[in-house]
C-alpha cells in the first residue's frame, strides 16, 4: 500500500529559487544575514577603533570615535559638564588669544580651538578623569541563516530597522551532511532551467 504525498508549494518555490540564485561560487551554499558589532578589546589586540565615552549611573554616551575623528560631540560635552577644564585647557595652551579677536562667545572660542588644536589620539590622558577610552574589535554576527537568497532578502527588508546595517553573506554547509542532503532533496523537486 503506497501513499501519495503532495509536495507543498513553498518547497517547489524554494527549489526554483535555489536553481535560479547566484551562489557566489560557493559549494553547498547557505545564506546568512549578518551585521557588524563591536566588542571591547585590549589596545593592539585586533582593535578596529577606540572611543572616548562618558558613563555614570547607567547613562553611557560615546563622545569620540577614532574611526570618525569628529571632535564636536566631545567639545560640546566638555562645555556642558566641565567648563573649568575647558578654561584651563584654553589658557594652558595659549589658545584664547588667537581665537578671541574673531569669536566673541567662550563656547565658540573653545569649540573651534579644541577641534583644531586638541589631538585626541595623543592627548586623551589630559581629558577629565570621568571620561574613559576603550578599544573595540569588529566582529560579524550571524543573525539568521536561510536556504535561499530570497528568504534572506525578505528578512533584510522586514527587520533592517531592528539592527545595525544588515547584509547577506554566502557560507558553505561543508561537512554538514544532513543539511546538504536536505538541500539536494529540495533542489531535486524541480528542474533547473537551461538557457537556450
172: pLDDT strictly greater than 70: yes
Candidate from 36-45, 71-80, 105-114, 153-162 with smallest mean pLDDT: 105-114
Predicted local confidence at residue 51, as pLDDT: 96
Averaged confidence pLDDT in the chain: 92
Cα–Cα distances (Å) from 130 to 38, 52, 99, 105, 109, in that order, read 22, 10, 28, 26, 23
- What lies within 8 Å, CB to CB, of 21 at 6+ separation is 148, 149, 150
Mean pLDDT of all residues in 63-84? 97
Q: Name which of 89-93, 96-100, 114-118 the model is least confident about.
A: 96-100
- pLDDT for 1 equals 62
Amino acid at each position: 500500500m503506497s501513499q501519495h504525498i503532495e509536495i507543498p508549494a513553498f518547497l517547489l518555490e524554494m527549489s526554483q529559487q535555489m536553481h535560479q540564485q547566484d551562489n557566489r561560487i560557493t559549494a553547498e551554499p547557505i545564506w546568512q544575514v549578518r551585521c557588524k558589532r563591536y566588542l571591547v578589546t585590549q589596545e593592539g589586540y585586533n582593535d578596529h577603533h577606540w572611543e572616548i565615552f562618558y558613563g555614570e549611573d547607567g547613562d553611557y554616551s560615546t563622545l569620540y570615535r577614532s574611526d570618525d575623528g569628529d571632535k564636536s560631540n566631545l567639545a560640546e560635552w566638555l562645555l556642558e559638564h566641565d567648563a573649568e577644564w575647558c578654561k584651563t585647557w584654553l589658557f594652558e595652551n595659549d589658545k584664547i588669544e588667537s581665537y578671541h579677536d574673531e569669536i566673541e562667545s567662550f563656547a565658540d572660542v573653545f569649540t573651534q580651538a579644541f577641534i583644531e588644536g586638541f589631538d585626541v589620539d595623543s592627548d586623551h590622558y589630559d581629558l577629565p578623569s570621568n571620561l574613559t577610552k576603550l578599544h573595540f574589535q569588529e566582529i560579524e554576527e550571524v543573525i539568521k541563516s536561510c536556504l535561499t537568497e530570497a528568504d534572506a532578502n525578505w528578512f533584510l527588508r522586514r527587520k533592517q530597522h531592528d539592527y545595525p546595517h544588515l547584509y547577506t553573506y554566502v557560507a558553505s554547509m561543508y561537512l554538514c551532511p544532513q543539511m546538504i542532503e536536505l538541500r539536494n532533496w529540495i533542489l531535486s523537486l524541480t528542474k533547473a532551467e537551461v538557457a537556450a
